[in-house]
Copies of this chain bind each other. A is one copy, B any other.
Amino acid sequence: MRDVLVLKITGKAFDEGSTLISRYVKLLKSMVSEYRLIVITGGGNTARKYISDARSLGISSNYWLDLIGIWVSRLNSLLITSSLQPYAYPKPAVSLEEVLEALSSHRVVAMGGLIPGQSTASTAIEVVEAVGAEKLYYFSAVGYAYDRDPAKYPDAKPLREVNASLLKKILEQKQLPGEYALIDEKALDLAIRSKILVQLISYREPEKLLDALRGENPGSLIHPA
């Protein structure tokens, strides 16, 4: 499936009204005749708020907390789906089989997380694997992989190219609902096993996807090694 692009958009893109999302929508619309598009959306602040409310209600099970986050990520994906009618598969795909099936008769498939216990980053890599693509375009909050967590270390340096195995060591992984880090170990391991490149791009600059498609590296490139 040469013409299939897989994109992951951080949930943070949905946190600030429609201005930013409308740029994604515009971009995707311009690409829909040339590419088939799979868009995996994160949960963002709404997910964090709901998970926090759930904790206050006494829910401590990570299964349920993750599931709530997944439903928010699906809700975010509906904004993409409804904006890209009639090209988009009319509901959030909830399994990899459904992604494959939906792709056979739709130009666009949007979706959130698939299963409690794994981040939307891992989900995105699994989608790349399932459709036989080679690269994940990953719109993240930070836009680059850094040599240290940039939220904690103002002097962290961006790594324009980095091996997945090195990044695994750099990232301080959390596995808690709503707090998965930039990209988790499992996602990186899957990328390595299936030789999938991850192109990081700042979520504030969706249009840089076009640069990436021209062969440039507008953020960080994570190599499956």
Please state if A61 and B129 are interface contacts (CB–CB under 8 Å).
yes
Which of B21, B56, B79, B129 interacts with A117 by CB under 8 Å?
Answer: B129
A86 pairs with B132, CB closer than 8 A = yes
The stretch from A147-155, A182-190, A200-208, A211-219 touching chain B is A182-190
Specify which of B62, B75, B132 is in contact with A194 (CB 8 Å cutoff). B62
Complex CA gap A22/B53 in Å reads 10
Task: Give how many copies assemble into the complex.
Answer: 6
Q: Report which of B57, B85, B100 forms a contact with A25, defined as CB distance below 8 A.
A: B57
- How many of A's residues come within 8 Å of B, CB to CB? 65
A79 touches B54 (CB 8 A): yes
A68 located at the interface, meaning its Cβ lies under 8 Å from any Cβ of chain B in the complex: yes
Q: Is the CB of B100 within 8 A of A53?
A: no
Give residues 83-133 of A contacting B (CB, 8 Å).
Answer: 83, 85-86, 89-91, 95-97, 100-101, 104-106, 114-118, 122, 125-126, 129-132
A53 CB contact (under 8 Å) in B17, B58, B95, B185: B17
A117 to B198, CA, bound (A): 17
Q: How far is the CA of A84 from the CA of B50 in the complex (A)?
A: 16
Prevailing SS type, chain A contact patch: helix
Partner of A85 from B61, B79, B118, B193 at Cβ < 8 Å: B61
A72 at the interface (CB under 8 A from B): yes
Q: Indicate which residue in B82, B90, B105 contacts A97 across the interface (CB closer than 8 Å).
A: B90
User: Which residues of chain B have C-beta atoms less than 8 A from A14's C-beta?
Assistant: 53
With A17-B56, A50-B79 given, name 5 new contacts (CB 8 A).
A19-B56, A90-B97, A104-B106, A105-B105, A118-B186
A contact residues vs B (CB 8 Å cutoff): 1, 14, 17-19, 21-22, 25, 46, 50, 53-54, 56-59, 61-64, 67-68, 71-72, 74-75, 78-79, 82-83, 85-86, 89-91, 95-97, 100-101, 104-106, 114-118, 122, 125-126, 129-132, 173, 175-176, 185-186, 189-190, 192-194
> Which 10 A-B pairs rank lowest in CB-CB distance, beginning with the nearest?
A18-B56, A64-B82, A90-B100, A105-B105, A63-B130, A18-B53, A175-B193, A63-B129, A104-B105, A117-B126
